[in-house]
């Protein structure tokens, strides 16, 4: 096998699981086992895509020119926190800080107000317009719905007051949770909810995930993956591979998604993740709401770890993409 002029794939079958000893023995001799030819071919294809991607160069982040470059007041107040990322080391970011990061990259984020009482929550609901959603804001609670920290579709003042008390009580039951307050935001109906996230693989580095989001991400597991940096064609390919792709094309009376605009937003999310350098652990939008050309991040999560952050995206990812 070692002297062959072309790659050799040894194929064999067994009726029992291969033992750890056998796998270790093969591994010491450079023979790596996969559970079937289908997985093996997929792994080779992924390796080839990775090798091809390393030949591309990246001119820089996706450009954007907002009509109004000024940050919203809440995000502008949080923007200063981005200058001191060491304060986030080893834990999730506060939601206002995460929202400020996304906004700085031209990623549309749903309007929201941080409320610290039922009174301020109802005032925010009147200003934003019913129905509204409430989400607990705490750096210690990353999966809000799992602990009862989310209330959706609230239509009246009484609903908001009761929902505020309910989500605060749920957060209080989480030991050690430091709560900033409750985020009040308008409910978005219709459209498609996607997951867009970047996690750091110990071998390949930052990996972009795009798939069906909201409550369905863990039910259907409809997610595509690409090693960053990714090109515009890579992202369009990911969207086309999804089983939920027909939902984006406007089936059953839905507005067809603006795939070019959606691709741009996904690339900006990837750029935001790469901007964090070696401190990146996880960055996620779930859901990213898409209704025609209307696209908004409804919930955002940023987790960083201790470590230097002064390296550039090029240092982080080896080579970068061509748009």
| Domains of the chain from N-terminus onward | 20-53 (no CATH), 60-110+190-323 (3.30.470.20), 111-187 (3.30.1490.20)
Name, in order, each residue with C-beta under 8 angstroms of 263's C-beta and a sequence gap of 6 or more.
232, 235, 236, 239
Residue 169 CB contacts under 8 Å (≥ 6 apart), including other chains: none
Burial tier of 17 (Cβ tally within 10 Å: 0-12, 13-18, 19+): exposed
Other residues' Cβ atoms within 10 Å of the Cβ of residue 130: 15
Task: Quote the pLDDT of residue 36.
Answer: 79
Q: CA–CA separation, 45 vs 135, rounded Å?
A: 41
Specify the DSSP class assigned to residue 319: S
Q: What is the pLDDT of residue 42?
A: 87
Question: What is the model's pLDDT at position 202?
Answer: 83
Interior/surface letters 143-179, b for 16+ CB within 10 angstroms, e for the rest: ebeebebbbeebeebebbbebbeebbebbeebeebeb
Report yes or no: 316 and 206 within 8 Å, Cβ to Cβ.
yes
Looking up tokens 């605060």 gives 168
Q: What is the pLDDT, as a whole number, of residue 67?
A: 40
Round to whole Å and give the CA distance between 244 and 216. Answer: 11
The pLDDT profile of the chain, 323 residues, written as one tens digit per residue, is 889 999 887 778 777 888 899 989 989 988 888 777 888 888 888 888 777 766 665 555 565 554 433 333 333 333 444 445 555 556 789 888 999 999 999 999 999 999 999 999 999 999 999 999 999 988 778 778 778 889 999 999 999 999 999 999 888 877 556 788 999 999 998 889 999 999 998 887 899 999 988 766 666 778 899 988 888 999 999 999 888 888 888 777 778 999 999 999 999 999 999 999 888 999 999 999 999 999 999 999 999 985 333 343 334 333 334 34
**Is the Cβ–Cβ distance between 301 and 282 less than 8 Å?**
yes
Please identify which residue in the block is written with the tokens 């990837």.
Answer: 270
What is the reported pTM? 0.71
């Amino acid at each position: 096998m070692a002297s062959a002029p072309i790659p050799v794939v040894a194929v064999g079958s067994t009726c029992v699981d291969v033992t750890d000893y056998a796998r270790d023995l093969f591994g010491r001799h450079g023979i790596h086992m996969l559970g079937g030819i289908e997985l093996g071919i997929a792994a080779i294809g992924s390796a080839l895509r990775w090798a091809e991607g390393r030949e591309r160069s990246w001119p820089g982040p996706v450009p954007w020119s907002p009509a109004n470059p000024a940050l919203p007041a809440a995000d502008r107040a949080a923007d200063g926190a981005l200058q001191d990322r060491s304060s986030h080391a080893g834990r999730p970011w506060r939601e206002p800080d995460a929202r400020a990061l996304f906004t700085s990259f031209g990623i549309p984020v749903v309007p929201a107000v941080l409320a610290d009482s039922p009174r301020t929550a109802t005032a925010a609901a009147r200003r934003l317009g019913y129905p509204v959603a409430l989400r607990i804001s705490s750096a210690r609670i990353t999966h809000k719905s799992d602990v009862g920290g989310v209330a959706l579709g609230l239509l009246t003042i009484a609903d908001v007051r009761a929902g505020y008390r309910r989500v605060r009580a749920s957060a209080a039951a989480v030991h050690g949770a430091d709560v900033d307050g409750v985020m009040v935001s308008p409910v978005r109906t219709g459209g498609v909810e996607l997951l867009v996230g970047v996690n750091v693989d110990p071998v390949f580095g930052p990996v972009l995930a795009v798939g069906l989001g909201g409550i369905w991400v863990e039910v259907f597991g409809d997610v595509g993956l690409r090693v960053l940096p990714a090109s515009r064609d890579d992202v369009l390919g990911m969207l086309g591979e999804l089983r939920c792709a027909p939902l984006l094309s406007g089936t059953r009376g839905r507005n067809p998604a603006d795939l070019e605009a959606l691709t741009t937003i996904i690339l900006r999310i990837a750029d935001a993740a790469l901007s964090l350098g070696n401190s990146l652990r996880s960055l996620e939008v779930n859901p990213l709401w898409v209704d025609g050309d209307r696209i908004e991040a409804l919930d955002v999560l940023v987790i960083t770890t201790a470590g230097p952050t002064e390296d550039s995206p090029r240092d982080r990812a080896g080579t970068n993409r061509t748009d």
